[in-house]
Amino acid sequence: MKDKRAEQFARCAVVLAAALDGAGDGGSVDPGDPFAVPASTGADLFAPSLAGREGIFDQALSNGLAAIVAFEWPGEEAKRNGRVLPASELLKVIAGHVPATDGIVLIPDKHPLPEAPQADEGSLFQPSRLSPHTRIDVATLQSGIDASQKARHGRGAGTLQRRHIEALLDLDGHESLGVMGEEQQDRIQQAAQREDAASQRRAFEYLERIGEDEAARRADQVVNPNTYHPKHNPDGQDLDTCPVCGHEALCVEGLDPVFGRIGYGQCLVCTYTRTPDAAEAEGFAEHLAWIMNR
């Protein structure tokens, strides 16, 4: 079981990872940010529009480092009174045990994973650790701590940069962590569930407006635009039963990409839309049920 601190690290790190895609644009900043550092500084600023970015960074770093130190050198992550050391002190503990080279510490895995073939692209089962050691850029992480302090304590602008976030995300390669992939998958599934629930609510409301007779009339007149054609549409799908209105009117555009069990598309009667992510979540549930019943 992972340390609870690993869970806190993951929750914050995935937020920073998502924002990383839009960061590092040559120092441009959000003009609405009163603490923004002028682009003339040349800093490769990290997601200046992400509110609370410094606090998120600090929480992720503190929990990640504490999990690593507790795993490698149990007890050294806290003071005698039980209070966990701050991130800067945890970095000193790590560097004290594993000397840094050019500011970089390489912590070897205690339980190296055997080499495994690369998972297929799009697979849910990607390996969480691809290296026999964890790279900890002590110098860059300390710089990130220093960069976040002003904003966190109301003394001006934070100056977090891409390199600080990238160094933070490298920590996930440690045996005590390796939690970001699972957290990201959970968030994708939760977002898909929320989107599907909203689509179903809209469809139910639409059905109430048109009434059952009109829905039945439309169902009788449905024509499948995805019917099979040997040349123009060799992968044509049959209409599926809509989970909202119950009519065989769900126009299937394709099957969930992982399990190939559930169709996604839009109902031609009530307008309910099932997305590929929602179809994948249902496909996964059906796959688990099939395994349990074997």
At 77, the pLDDT band (50, 70, 90 cuts) reads very high
Q: What are the angstrom distances between the C-alpha of 3 and each of 6, 79, 138, 144, 235?
A: 5, 18, 22, 24, 47
pLDDT, tens digit (0-9, with 9 covering 90-100), for 235-249 = 668 899 999 999 999
Radius of gyration of the chain (CA): 25
What dihedral angle (degrees, nearest 10) is formed by the CA atoms of 145, 148, 152, 154? 130
How many residues does this entry show for the chain? 294
Q: Is the pTM of this model over 0.75?
A: no
Residue 251's pLDDT is 92
The fraction of the chain above a pLDDT of 90, given in percent, is 42
What dihedral angle (degrees, nearest 10) is formed by the CA atoms of 72, 78, 80, 81? -150
Residue 282's pLDDT is 85
pLDDT, tens digit (0-9, with 9 covering 90-100), for 275-288 = 998 898 888 878 87
Q: What is the DSSP string of 7-41?
A: HHHHHHHHHHHHHHTT--STT---TT-TTPPPGGG
Cα distance between residue 77 and residue 66, in whole Å: 6
- Measured in whole angstroms, the distance separating CA 122 from the mean position of its chain's CA atoms is 14
- pLDDT(160) > 50: yes
Please identify which residue in the block is written with the tokens 């050198």. 73
Buried b / exposed e along 87-119 (16+ C-beta atoms within 10 A): beebbebbbeebebeeeebebeeeeeeeeeeee
pLDDT, tens digit (0-9, with 9 covering 90-100), for 87-101 = 999 999 999 999 888
Residue 30's pLDDT is 47
- pLDDT(265) > 60: yes
Between 182 and 273, residue with greater pLDDT: 273
pLDDT, tens digit (0-9, with 9 covering 90-100), for 4-62 = 899 899 989 988 888 886 544 444 444 444 444 444 444 577 777 778 888 999 999 99
- Alpha-carbon torsion 53, 58, 59, 63, what sign? positive
